[in-house]
């Protein structure tokens, strides 16, 4: 089966919007060590799109094109891996969750709300509005993306020079639309609801990028809803574009959980920081003084509050006890809002993967706390989460985030 997949899994070149008619997502039963290792090999050596990581004791979600359905299911059966169909038609799911048409930014201000998803122009217009209406907020251009898009950071610097810094990163994986949505909700709460908790902004300087992968995010809106990577060109003979920007950071780079296949979703690039987007973020956060006390990354999906390190099993930061406890406390607070269960675990316990930004923030930049939150859901919709879940997802995440902020205030 493995050799069959390697032969059959070719890249589909699309000129307009990629269509996922007939694509299905299969969910396995919880995996044992043997089956998890088998699926990891398939993930890293083929072009199958794994929607979730094949970890021990966890389910794996595998998207299959219609022409490979029989091969994939036959192999799962042969290996004795139980599964069921989680998504019967990916294109139908995309259609059902497509954002409604919006007025242009020029007609409606930014047009930002949390009742639907928003494109890159709206995200940037929103943070510009916040900067324009608050003298303690500003926009910092940290450079351009591969395709020439400006990468904008919102800075909230009311606390002033020398105060602790907090860095928030969202959207490094393009298709995870809930990540920019929830993170902008948090920023809106900090700024437009400042009066409810002034100490959050008075005591910390905040720096936030709503789309750490702007080219990929734009491409996911215009051409391929499930695009994950950047849009760079590294000379693939099959025309495959992009690098997984969350495997491209120079901390234990390419040691685990990455692919060197340029067509694979977890392609780590030819070298660490090969991507201009990751270099721009690296160069900017290294200018922050003092070093941020917190680096937080928003992702989806699986409902996890992950703490470092993720590059290997049993690799822990020096302050493991406090960072693990804070993940537990935040997840407990989050649960109380809508009863949503987040699992606070070490990143490698999900699946070892190196070159991630949260590991770099902790291991190289030197943040005291570094987290990745994998937002809703646990698989019914996966990356194509309905817009009706944006607000409840944001509300529960804000409750968890308040625990983090209040802990930092009490340090």
The DSSP symbol for 267 reads B
Q: Using CA atoms, how far apart are residues 45 and 329, in angstroms rounded to an integer? A: 38
- Report pLDDT for 44: 82
Q: Which residue blocks in 162-304 are alpha helix, DSSP H?
A: 178-192, 198-202, 214-222, 276-285
Q: How far apart are CA 372 and CA 168, in angstroms?
A: 10
Phi/psi at 388 (nearest 5 deg)?
-65, -15
**What are the pLDDT tens digits along the chain (411 aa)?**
444 444 344 333 334 799 999 999 999 999 999 999 999 989 888 889 999 989 899 999 999 999 999 999 999 999 999 999 999 999 999 999 999 865 555 555 889 999 999 999 999 999 999 999 999 999 999 999 999 999 999 999 999 999 999 999 999 999 999 999 999 999 999 999 999 999 999 999 999 999 999 999 999 999 999 999 999 999 999 999 999 999 999 999 999 999 999 999 999 999 999 999 999 999 999 999 999 999 999 999 999 999 999 999 999 999 999 999 999 999 999 999 999 999 999 999 988 999 999 999 999 999 999 999 999 999 999 999 999 999 999 999 999 999 999 999 999
The pLDDT assigned to 45 comes to 81
Helix (H, G, I), strand (E, B) or coil at 89: coil
d(CA 123, CA 209): 10
Q: Rounded to whole angstroms, what are the CA distances from 409 to 166, 232, 400, 402, 404?
A: 12, 41, 15, 10, 9
Q: How far apart are CA 146 and CA 280, in angstroms?
A: 11
Q: CATH class for domain 16-96?
A: alpha beta
Separation of alpha carbons 39 and 65, rounded Å: 17
Nearest to 267 by CA among 360, 351, 353, 352: 353
Active site positions, annotated: 374
- Omega before 309 within 30 of 0, i.e. cis: yes
Give me the CATH topology for the region 116-224+246-409.
Aminopeptidase (3.40.630)
Other Cβ atoms closer than 10 A to 57: 10
State the DSSP H helix or E strand holding residue 126, giving kind and residue range, or none if neither: helix 120-132
Give the chain's length.
Answer: 411
Strand, helix or coil for residue 85: strand
Q: Residue 187: phi, psi to the nearest 5?
A: -65, -40
Residue 109 pLDDT:
80
Helical axes 178-192 vs 390-409, angle rounded to 10° = 60
Q: Tell me the whole-structure pTM to 2 decimals.
A: 0.94
Distance (Å, whole) CA 175 – CA 178: 9
Dist CA 284 CA 289 (whole Å):
11
Q: Are 146 and 243 in contact (CB under 8 A)?
A: no
Task: For tokens 């994939």, name the residue.
Answer: 72
For residue 219, give the H/E element and its range: helix 214-222
CATH topology agreement for domains 16-96 and 116-224+246-409: no
C-alpha to C-alpha distance for 63 and 59, rounded to whole angstroms: 13
Query: Burial level of 321, CB count in 10 A (0-12/13-18/19+)?
Result: exposed
Domain segments of the chain: what residues?
Answer: 16-96, 116-224+246-409
What pLDDT, on a 0 to 100 scale, did the predictor assign at position 11?
38
């Amino acid at each position: 089966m493995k050799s069959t997949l390697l032969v059959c899994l070719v890249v589909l070149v699309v000129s307009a919007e990629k269509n996922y008619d007939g694509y299905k997502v299969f969910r396995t039963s919880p995996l044992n060590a043997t089956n998890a290792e088998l699926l990891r090999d398939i993930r890293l050596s083929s072009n199958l799109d794994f929607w979730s990581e094949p970890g021990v004791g966890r389910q794996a979600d595998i998207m299959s094109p219609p022409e490979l359905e029989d091969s994939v299911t036959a192999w799962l059966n042969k290996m004795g891996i139980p599964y069921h169909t989680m998504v019967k038609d990916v294109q139908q799911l995309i259609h059902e969750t497509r954002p409604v048409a919006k007025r242009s930014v020029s007609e409606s201000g930014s047009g930002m709300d949390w009742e639907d998803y928003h494109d890159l122009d709206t995200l940037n217009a929103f943070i510009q509005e916040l900067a324009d209406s608050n003298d303690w907020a500003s926009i910092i251009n940290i450079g351009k993306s591969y395709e020439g898009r400006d990468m904008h950071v919102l800075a909230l610097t009311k606390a002033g020079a020398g105060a602790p810094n907090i860095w928030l990163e969202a959207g490094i994986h393009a298709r995870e639309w809930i990540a920019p949505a929830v993170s902008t909700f948090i920023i809106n709460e900090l700024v437009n609801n400042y009066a409810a908790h002034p100490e959050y902004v008075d005591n910390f300087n905040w720096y936030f990028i709503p789309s750490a992968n702007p080219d990929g995010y734009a491409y996911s809106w215009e051409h391929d809803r499930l695009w994950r990577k950047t849009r760079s060109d590294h000379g693939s003979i099959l025309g495959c574009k992009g690098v997984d920007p969350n495997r491209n950071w120079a901390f234990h780079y390419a040691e685990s959980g990455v692919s060197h296949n340029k067509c694979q979703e977890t392609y780590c690039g030819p070298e660490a920081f090969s991507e201009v987007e990751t270099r721009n973020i690296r160069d900017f956060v290294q200018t922050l003084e003092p070093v941020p006390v917190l680096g937080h990354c928003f992702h989806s999906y699986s409902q996890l509050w992950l703490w470092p390190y993720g590059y290997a099993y049993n690799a822990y930061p020096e302050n493991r006890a406090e960072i693990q406890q804070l993940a537990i406390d935040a997840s407990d607070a989050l649960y109380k809002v809508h009863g949503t269960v987040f699992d606070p675990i070490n990143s490698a316990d999900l699946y070892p993967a190196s070159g991630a930004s949260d590991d770099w923030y902790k291991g190289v930049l030197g943040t005291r706390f570094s987290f990745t939150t994998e937002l809703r859901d646990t698989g019914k919709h996966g990356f194509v989460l309905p817009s009706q879940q944006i607000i409840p997802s944001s509300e529960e995440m804000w409750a968890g985030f308040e625990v983090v902020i209040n802990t930092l205030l009490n340090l």
